[in-house]
């Protein structure tokens, strides 16, 4: 345990080779950092991302994680040489080992992450980049960013759970169209289809993402963690199971919340009359 830092895992900000991590005012800016290869994801980048997400999850100085890319690209997808061609020549067990670290961070870890995550799509977003994009809770794109499900042009179908991510966000007609044609589309179109929350001019992208991250930082983290987990789970449950789950989840959140946010909110509304949800005014810990 370090004596200079209260952080349990200060290595989250260490010098990574293929990823840049900057922590500022509670926001961890995680940039895929191979701009000369348009941030294509190769096996060592994937290994680093597993370690980084693991470290940031327990880093007390971090409340929100933003995933983005260095230079003019979010990510050009899997590295066609190092992840596909080079792995084809390895024994199957070794291929699986390398593929697992891709899947591990791109959807397994992000889908169940205990802190809110925002994908900030600054530029090119192709193929396997859709998986972490959708596995992040929220997404904001530059309106002129270019998206594409280009797998069809490599005589592949969107594996690595790319298609699962597509179907979780886009409707069947749009999914089928872009998977079969491989046509590129803009950030604006991505917003219209519900693949991202918002599309803004590139010049405003970082400010808008920062404002959204700050809004999330102002919420009760225990409740936020429960709410985002519930959004993912309820989608897969029927009405009876989801009612049971939500009742249990609310009880869990109430028990775990060190701030006692539920009682505080009710007091502000019912007794102090200082908070009206439609008018704002709620003070955390108030
Ligand atoms: N895999 C491997 N290398 C890549 C990838 C990739 N996915 N994307 C870009 N690169 C490399 C290029 O080969 C080039 O390398 P070099 O400088 O050693 O020749 C370098 O990155 C720069 O790329 P350019 O194509 O020169 O850059 P440009 O700005 O003209 O175009 C673009 C960017 C549009 C992203 C283009 O690189 C591209 O189409 N990349 C492939 C995108 C793709 O189809 N990805 C999906 C792969 S399938 C999957 O993810 C499952
Ligand atoms: C893709 C991604 C994969 C994979 C196979 O289409 C195909 C993209 C992230 O891993 O193993």
Do 227 and 98 belong to one domain?
no
Model pLDDT, residue 8:
53
Rounded-to-integer distance, Cα 200 and Cα 106, Å: 24
What would the pLDDT profile of 190-228 be if each residue is shown by its tens digit?
Answer: 999 999 999 999 999 999 999 999 999 999 999 999 999
**Whose CA is closest to 77, among 167, 158, 143, 141?**
158
Query: With 50 as the cut, is the pLDDT of residue 2 above it?
Result: no
Do 255 and 207 belong to one domain?
no
The C-alpha angle 207, 112, 123, rounded to 5 degrees, equals 35
Average pLDDT for 118-139: 98
Q: At what angle do helices 92-103 and 43-57 cross, to 10 degrees?
A: 40
Do 213 and 241 belong to one domain?
no
In a domain, 127, yes or no: yes
In a domain, 278, yes or no: no
Length of the chain: 286
Do 140 and 245 belong to one domain?
no
In a domain, 282, yes or no: no
Q: Which of 154, 187, 217 is the last residue of a domain?
A: 217
In a domain, 89, yes or no: yes
Do 225 and 119 belong to one domain?
no
In a domain, 28, yes or no: yes
Q: Which ligand is nearest to the CA of 153?
A: 1
Atom of ligand 1 nearest to the CA of 151: 48
Q: What CATH number is given to the structural domain containing 127?
A: 3.90.226.10
Do 212 and 240 belong to one domain?
no
In a domain, 204, yes or no: yes
Do 156 and 18 belong to one domain?
yes
Q: Which of 179, 196, 217 is the last residue of a domain?
A: 217
Do 155 and 32 belong to one domain?
yes
Do 84 and 118 belong to one domain?
yes
- 137 alpha carbon to ligand 1 midpoint, in Å? 26
Model pLDDT, residue 286:
53
In a domain, 2, yes or no: no
What would the pLDDT profile of 74-86 be if each residue is shown by its tens digit?
Answer: 999 999 999 999 9
The protein residue with its alpha carbon nearest to ligand 1, atom 42, reads: 76
Q: Could you tell me where the beta strands, DSSP code E, fall in the chain?
A: 19-24, 27-32, 64-69, 73-75, 117-121, 124-126, 138-142, 146-148, 185-186, 198-200
Do 147 and 249 belong to one domain?
no
Domain of residue 250, residue span: 221-271
Domain count, the chain: 2
In a domain, 277, yes or no: no
Q: Which of 185, 202, 217 is the last residue of a domain?
A: 217
The protein residue with its alpha carbon nearest to ligand 1, atom 33, reads: 38
Mutate which of 130, 162, 164, 182 to test ligand 2's pocket (most atoms within 8 Å of Cβ)?
162
Average pLDDT for 64-79: 98
Average pLDDT for 255-273: 95
How distant is the alpha carbon of residue 37 from its chain centre?
22
What would the pLDDT profile of 145-199 be if each residue is shown by its tens digit?
Answer: 999 999 999 999 999 999 999 999 999 999 999 999 999 999 999 999 999 999 9
Q: Which two tokens stand for residue 219?
A: 């919420």
The protein residue with its alpha carbon nearest to ligand 1, atom 26, reads: 37
């Amino acid at each position: 345990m370090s004596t200079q830092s209260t952080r349990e895992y200060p290595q989250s900000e260490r010098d990574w080779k293929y990823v840049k991590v900057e922590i500022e005012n509670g926001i961890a800016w995680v940039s895929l950092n191979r701009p000369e290869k348009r941030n294509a994801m190769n096996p060592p980048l994937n290994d680093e991302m597993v370690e980084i997400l693991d470290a940031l999850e327990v880093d007390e100085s971090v409340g929100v994680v933003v995933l983005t890319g260095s230079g003019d690209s979010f990510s050009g997808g899997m590295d066609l040489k190092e992840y596909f061609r080079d792995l084809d020549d390895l024994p199957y067990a070794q291929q699986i080992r390398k593929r697992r670290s891709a899947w591990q961070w791109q959807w397994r870890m992000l889908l169940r992450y205990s802190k809110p995550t925002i994908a900030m799509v600054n530029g090119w977003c192709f193929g396997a980049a859709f998986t972490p994009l959708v596995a992040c809770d929220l997404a904001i794109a530059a309106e002129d960013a270019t998206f594409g499900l280009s797998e069809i042009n490599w005589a592949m179908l969107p594996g690595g759970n790319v298609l699962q991510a597509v179907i979780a966000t886009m409707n069947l007609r749009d999914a089928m169209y872009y998977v079969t044609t491989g046509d590129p589309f803009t950030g604006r179109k991505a917003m219209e289809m519900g693949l991202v929350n918002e599309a803004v001019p590139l010049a405003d992208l970082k400010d808008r993402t920062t404002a959204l991250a700050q809004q999330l930082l102002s919420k009760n983290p225990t409740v936020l963690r429960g709410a985002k987990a519930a959004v993912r789970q309820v989608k897969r449950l029927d009405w009876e199971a989801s009612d049971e789950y939500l009742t249990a989840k609310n009880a869990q959140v109430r028990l775990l919340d060190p701030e006692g946010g539920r009682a505080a909110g009710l007091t502000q509304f019912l007794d102090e009359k200082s908070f009206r949800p439609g008018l704002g005014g709620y003070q955390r810990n108030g």
